[in-house]
């Protein structure tokens, strides 16, 4: 079997999504997600100009060798654009391999380690009362694990809290909008949300919260300590993770579990955090961390330190990524939880898929491959439409972490 062709498909059924489709000379094809929110076209160019020409004629079964070729062969290693492009190729090749074997992908990853994949959803509200209602509504849909975010008095726009009670969507049309952030206002308010949620719903529900990289290590330690009696499932991205030692400071002060890694793209981003047992959940996922091949290596490193997986699953990761991630989740021994932000009906129509949600859990399905396809005719009806994540400034105008 040889790779006969590869194409990049860009579509915007509500948000921009990039898909790599690899076809073989014996009529099989595989899909890989190549979406990098707000930098979509950089990955498209990387794939079209530098990767696809090198793929034609290769044996698609040599998944590891092609991964090494694209990683070591480029000389310039790592980085989100490179690793997203490699991930797209890798995911498409695993899809082809599983289709050639006539098996769902998870069977090639060692088979099922569990019956179902626990997922967490997003609840949000302009204030605490609205966030409480949103948590109740998601509990009624069966979710056992819920991320809660609430507006902060005195701040107009807060991460994870859209206006008008709509589901949160990462990215807005047009150039990046500017928002104002105050750590002081947030830090006083955030524990009140979780105190109220525990009073209302008790301790039988997993509660999660995303700080979205906004605190200094000592501020994050203070928040972790304040949340300790509320027994969080995790506190996500408490501080930026370029300096991995920062997490030591957080760890010294609190036993609130820490989750990090949605912006990581290689095992080298994870290494110190895992080996020094500074985190509890690693959030790297298929599309941004080099595909199934590389994510398995990250998970294997994490396994020996009892760090569990918690794959990123926002809507800027396409259904192709979600399908592949669910096969990984159901197979990997040290699975923790999977993020689930349902895609819009338009997106689901463009990407017909075998995966399903039921009562707080997701299932990858048993279709050969990863079980996600693309309706190219429908995809063509939604052309690329520039959209970006916001940026954040402090109240004095200083640019800060969004």
Active-site residue set: 159, 212
Within residues 191-210, the interface with ligand KDG by CB under 6 A covers 210
Separation CA 238–CA 258 (nearest Å): 8
Partner in contact with 209, chosen from ligand KDG, Mg ion, none, beta carbon below 5 to 8 Å by kind: none
Separation CA 81–CA 46 (nearest Å): 8
How many helices (H) and strands (E) are present in the chain, helices listed first?
Answer: 14, 18
Nearest residue by C-beta to Mg ion? 210
Q: How many residues form the binding site for ligand KDG (CB under 6 A)? A: 10
In the complex, the smallest distance separating the C-beta of residue 389 from ligand KDG, rounded to whole angstroms, is: 6
Could you tell me if 235 and 258 are in contact, meaning their C-beta atoms sit under 8 angstroms apart?
yes
User: Is residue 373 near Mg ion by the rule CB under 5 A?
Assistant: no
In the complex, the smallest distance separating the C-beta of residue 314 from Mg ion, rounded to whole angstroms, is: 7
Piece of the chain touching ligand KDG by CB under 6 A; list 62-70, 216-224, 246-254, 308-316:
308-316
Question: Which pair of tokens denotes residue 67?
Answer: 């991964």
User: Is residue 33 near ligand KDG by the rule CB under 6 A?
Assistant: no
Partner in contact with 33, chosen from ligand KDG, Mg ion, none, beta carbon below 5 to 8 Å by kind: none
User: Is residue 339 near ligand KDG by the rule CB under 6 A?
Assistant: yes
Separation CA 150–CA 281 (nearest Å): 23
Binding mask 207-236 for Mg ion (x = CB under 5 A): ---x--------------------------
Within residues 250-309, the interface with Mg ion by CB under 5 A covers 262
Contacts 24+ apart (CB under 8 A), 52-59: 52/6, 52/7, 52/8, 55/3, 55/6, 55/22, 55/89, 56/3, 56/4, 56/5, 56/6, 57/2, 57/3, 58/2, 58/3, 59/1, 59/2, 59/3
Q: DSSP of 348-395, one letter per residue?
A: HHHS-BS-EEETTEEE--SSSBSSB---HHHHTTS----EE--EEEET
Residue 237 or 373 having the CB closest to ligand KDG: 237
User: Is residue 42 near ligand KDG by the rule CB under 6 A?
Assistant: no
Partner in contact with 370, chosen from Mg ion, ligand KDG, none, beta carbon below 5 to 8 Å by kind: none
Binding mask 260-289 for ligand KDG (x = CB under 6 A): --x---------------------------
**Phi then psi for 236, rounded to 5 degrees?**
-100, 140
Residue 61 or 240 having the CB closest to ligand KDG: 240
In the complex, the smallest distance separating the C-beta of residue 24 from ligand KDG, rounded to whole angstroms, is: 32
Q: Site for ligand KDG (CB under 6 A): which residue of 11, 16, 37, 82?
A: 37
Piece of the chain touching ligand KDG by CB under 6 A; list 2-10, 244-252, 311-319, 328-336:
311-319
Contacts 24+ apart (CB under 8 A), 7-12: 7/52, 8/34, 8/44, 8/47, 8/48, 8/52, 9/374, 9/376, 9/379, 10/40, 10/44, 10/383, 10/384, 11/350, 11/374, 11/379, 11/380, 11/382, 11/383, 11/384, 12/382, 12/383, 12/384, 12/385
Q: Give the CA dihedral 188, 190, 196, 198, nearest 10 degrees.
A: -130
Within residues 368-397, the interface with ligand KDG by CB under 6 A covers 389
Piece of the chain touching ligand KDG by CB under 6 A; list 71-79, 221-229, 273-281, 312-320:
312-320
Question: For residue 7, what are the β-bridge partners?
Answer: 21
Binding mask 152-181 for ligand KDG (x = CB under 6 A): ------------------x-----------
Separation CA 183–CA 175 (nearest Å): 25
Partner in contact with 170, chosen from ligand KDG, Mg ion, none, beta carbon below 5 to 8 Å by kind: ligand KDG
In the complex, the smallest distance separating the C-beta of residue 227 from ligand KDG, rounded to whole angstroms, is: 17
User: Is residue 212 near ligand KDG by the rule CB under 6 A?
Assistant: yes
Residue 237: name the closest of 260, 264, 221 by CA: 260
User: Is residue 339 near Mg ion by the rule CB under 5 A?
Assistant: no
DSSP state, 230? G
Residue 269 or 339 having the CB closest to ligand KDG: 339
- Which residues bind to ligand KDG, rule: CB under 6 A? 37, 170, 210, 212, 262, 312, 314, 316, 339, 389
- Which residues bind to Mg ion, rule: CB under 5 A? 210, 262
């Amino acid at each position: 079997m040889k790779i006969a062709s590869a194409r990049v498909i860009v579509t915007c059924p509500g948000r921009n999504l990039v898909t790599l489709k690899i076809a073989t000379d014996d009529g099989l094809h595989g899909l890989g997600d190549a979406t990098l929110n707000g930098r979509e076209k950089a990955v498209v160019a990387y794939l079209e100009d530098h990767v696809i020409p090198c793929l034609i004629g290769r044996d698609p079964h040599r998944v590891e060798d092609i991964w090494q070729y694209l990683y070591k062969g480029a000389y310039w290693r790592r980085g989100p654009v490179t690793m997203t492009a490699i991930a797209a190729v890798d995911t498409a090749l695993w899809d082809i391999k599983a289709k050639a074997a006539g098996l769902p992908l998870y069977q090639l990853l060692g088979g099922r380690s569990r019956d179902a994949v626990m997922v967490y959803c997003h609840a949000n509200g302009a204030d605490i009362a609205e966030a409480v209602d949103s948590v109740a509504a998601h509990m009624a849909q069966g979710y056992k694990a819920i991320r809660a975010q609430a507006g902060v008095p005195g701040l107009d726009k807060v991460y994870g809290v859209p206006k008008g009670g709509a589901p949160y969507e990462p990215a807005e049309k047009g150039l990046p909008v500017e928002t104002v952030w105050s750590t002081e206002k947030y830090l006083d308010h955030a524990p009140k949300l979780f105190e109220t949620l525990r009073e209302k719903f008790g301790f039988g529900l997993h509660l999660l919260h995303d700080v979205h990289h906004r605190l200094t290590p000592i501020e994050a330690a203070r928040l972790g300590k304040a949340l300790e009696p509320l027994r969080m499932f995790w506190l996500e991205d408490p501080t930026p993770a370029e300096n991995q030692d920062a997490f030591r400071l957080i760890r010294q002060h609190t036993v609130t579990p820490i989750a990090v890694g949605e912006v990581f793209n290689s095992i080298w981003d994870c290494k110190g955090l895992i080996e020094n047992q500074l985190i509890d959940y690693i959030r790297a996922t298929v599309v941004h961390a080099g595909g199934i091949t590389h994510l398995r290596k990250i998970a294997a490193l994490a396994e020996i330190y009892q760090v569990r997986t918690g794959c990123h699953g926002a809507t800027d990761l396409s259904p192709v990524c979600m399908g592949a991630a669910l096969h990984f989740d159901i197979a990997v021994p040290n699975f923790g939880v999977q993020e689930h932000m349902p895609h819009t009906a338009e997106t689901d129509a463009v990407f017909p898929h075998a995966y399903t949600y039921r009562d707080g859990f997701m299932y990858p399905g048993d279709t050969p491959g990863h079980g996600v396809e693309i309706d190219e005719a429908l995809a063509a009806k939604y052309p690329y439409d520039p959209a970006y994540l916001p940026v954040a400034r402090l109240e004095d105008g200083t640019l800060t972490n969004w």
